[in-house]
Amino acid sequence: MSNLTRRSPRIEAQSWLEPLPAKTRLSFRGGPDAIAAASHGFGVNLSTDACRAASANDRAALWLGPDEYLLLAPESDAAAVRTTLAEALGEIPHSIVDISHRHAAFVVKGPQAEWLLGGGCPLDLDLAAFPVGMCTRTVYMKSEIYLWRTAADAFHIETWRSFTPYVVDHLIDAARECGG
Amino acid sequence: MLVIHCPYCGPRPEPEFAHGGQAHIARPHDPANTTDEELLQFLYLRENPRGLFRERWRHARGCGRFFNAIRDTNTDFFVTTYKVGERPALPGGAQ
């Protein structure tokens, strides 16, 4: 089995597109007690406000639903994150699923970022309606994406890995229109 | 594009939502002792009114939660949306 290598979708960097390295991703679900304990164990205060992300020390917690979060950490932290979360959560009912390999991530950045995403995402991405720190699950064309605004002109995007070429190709198509 | 107010996420575009049929259909407490007529009603028979209708919706491409909505089937106008477990009165006060 040693000759099997993990295939990841290839994303070509562009001036406005930055592929992100592999990450540890956990789907976390639980009630208010579990959310408080997970904040302690993960080292990031999980937002209880709708559609808000919180980050600290290379880790981030994205609010996806009232009891659902996506936890992001560097790939090398996988074991540490699971251990500290398990210690903090103890017997509190919750669910943690490792979905590290389900997604590929990249950043769309630059002054055209909003416009490029607007080509396929029906959300209002104006800074007033979608401020920095807002995150949500939504759609890009027909694919589900996770969208997180990390700066006024930068969006962190997670897609299911098999949908990544679809999303990236549509973005490249949109970029052609504005000379990217 | 139709904008639907998710009770958890706020106003969001229609492609993120999935329609779930008539709302407030309670499963029989004791299915084994339910008559065929009652099961028929529970499983298959649905209202199809012209006008205000209580419906289940799911924010499938957003927070993933089910919620209920009062929609006018004539105009596609959403009167209100509310969380599961609530039951606001219809405009005019009817339940």
pLDDT tens, position by position, A48-62: 999 999 999 999 999
How many residues are listed for chain B in this entry?
A: 95
**pLDDT value of residue A111:** 93
CA distance A4 to chain B (A): 34
Mean pLDDT in residue range A146-151: 97
Give me the amino acid identity at B81.
T
By residue range, what is the domain housing residue B64?
Answer: 3-25+37-83
Answer yes or no: is pLDDT of A1 > 50: no
ipTM for this model: 0.86
- Name the stretches of chain B with pLDDT < 50: none
B6 Cα to chain A: minimum distance (Å): 11
Coil vs helix vs strand at B71: strand
**pTM, whole model, 2 decimals?**
0.90
pLDDT in tens, A118-145: 999 999 999 999 999 999 999 999 999 9
A50–B13 CB contact, under 8 Å = no
Domains of chain A: 17-177 (3.30.1360.120)
Domain-located, residue B12: yes
Does B51 map to a domain?
yes
Q: Which amino acid is at B88?
A: P
In this prediction, residue A9 carries a pLDDT of 67
Total domains in the fold of chain B: 1
Beta-carbon contacts of residue A90 (< 8 Å; ≥ 6 apart): A37
The 3-class secondary structure across chain A, one letter per residue, is: CCCCCCCCCCCCCECCEEECCCEEEEEEEECHHHHHHHHHHHCCCCCCCCCEEEEECCEEEEEEECCEEEEEEEHHHHHHHHHHHHHHHCCCCEEEEECCCCEEEEEEECCCHHHHHHCCCCCCCCCCCCCCCEEEEEEECCEEEEEEEEECCEEEEEEEHHHHHHHHHHHHHHHHHCCC
pLDDT for A162: 93
Q: B64 — contact with chain A (CB < 8 Å)?
A: yes
Percent of chain A beyond pLDDT 90? 89
Task: Give Cα A10 distance to the centre of its chain.
Answer: 18
For A16-41, write each residue's pLDDT tens digit: 999 999 999 999 999 999 999 999 99
Per-residue tokens: B70: 């009062």
The per-residue pLDDT for range A61-99, each reduced to its tens digit, is 999 999 999 999 999 999 999 999 999 999 999 999 999
Confirm whether B95 is domain-assigned. no
Instruction: For chain A, give the longest Cα–Cα distance.
Output: 55
Q: Are the beta carbons of A50 and B10 separated by less than 8 Å?
A: yes
pLDDT computed for residue B74 by the predictor: 95
Q: Is B92 inside a domain boundary? A: no
